[in-house]
Chain A
Amino acid sequence: QSALTQPASVSGSPGQSITISCTGTSSDVGSYDLVSWYQQHPGKAPKLMIYVGSKRPSGVSNRFSGSKSGNTASLTISGLQAEDEADYYCCSYAGRSTFVVFGGGTKLTVL
């Protein structure tokens, strides 16, 4: 069982928007603005998409955005494209005893 809870799957049609939630606790997501999101295509390494909750690395499309409310972080992908179909993982700093926790991952299907 993962420390952060994500839906197992989400889906959307091209052009639509989807949101993936990532629920933690007051010991991780709720206490630190250190949530990151990763995209992973089959057989590939994860790719950083969002860091410190809402910032995008250079080269990542502005269709990807992140936010947080309380103990839940969210990743929104707008204008869905076929290449967005992948697994998405959230990650949070969790203090000086646990350090890092990941979500269980969400499979995004573009219909």
Chain B
Amino acid sequence: QVQLQESGPGLLKPSETLSLTCTVSGYSISSGYYWGWIRQPPGKGLEWIGSMYHSGSGYYNPSLKSRLTISVDTSKNQFSLNLSSVTAADTAVYYCARIHSSGSQFSDFDYWGQGTLVTVSS
């Protein structure tokens, strides 16, 4: 059974960098699939952040691209999110997920982590 688990700080100050790691068990990242991040502000809808293949090729939400880095560590079976210069608008539950795709056309998110709340506040 594929399982994903997010980890990282839950509280940040404005202008800091948000860093989260997703640890995957039950499946080897290097075997395939895209892996990505989705966030959900409190009481609001889902927003795709970005996705990365195990080889390192990735795609980012254009609205976040200038602040965003997603990386994959196949040796640890993990992938990570770094979002710089955070503001209160980045407060959200952050989910990691496995992504089905047809080439680079993303189809669906089939396995999700439980999510982790990140709050940005001074």
Contacts and interface: CB of A to CB of B under 8 A. Distances in A.
Q: Is the interface of B mostly helix, strand, loop or mixed?
A: strand
Contacts, number: 64
Interface size class, chain B: 20 to 34
Contacts of B45: 2, 89, 102-105
Contact of A102 (B48, B105, B107, B114): B48
A90 to B, nearest CB: 10
Contacts of B51: 99-100
A: interface residue count bin: 20 to 34
Interface in B3-45: 38, 45
Interface stretch (A19-27, A46-54, A69-77, A78-86): A46-54
A105 B46 CA distance: 8
B95, B108, B109: most-surrounded residue (chain A CB, <10 A): B108
Interface of A: 2, 32, 34, 36, 38, 44-48, 51-52, 57, 89, 91, 93, 96-105
Given A100-B51, A102-B47, A105-B46, 15 more contacts: A2-B45, A34-B105, A34-B108, A36-B109, A38-B109, A46-B46, A46-B112, A48-B109, A89-B45, A91-B46, A93-B105, A99-B51, A100-B61, A100-B106, A102-B45
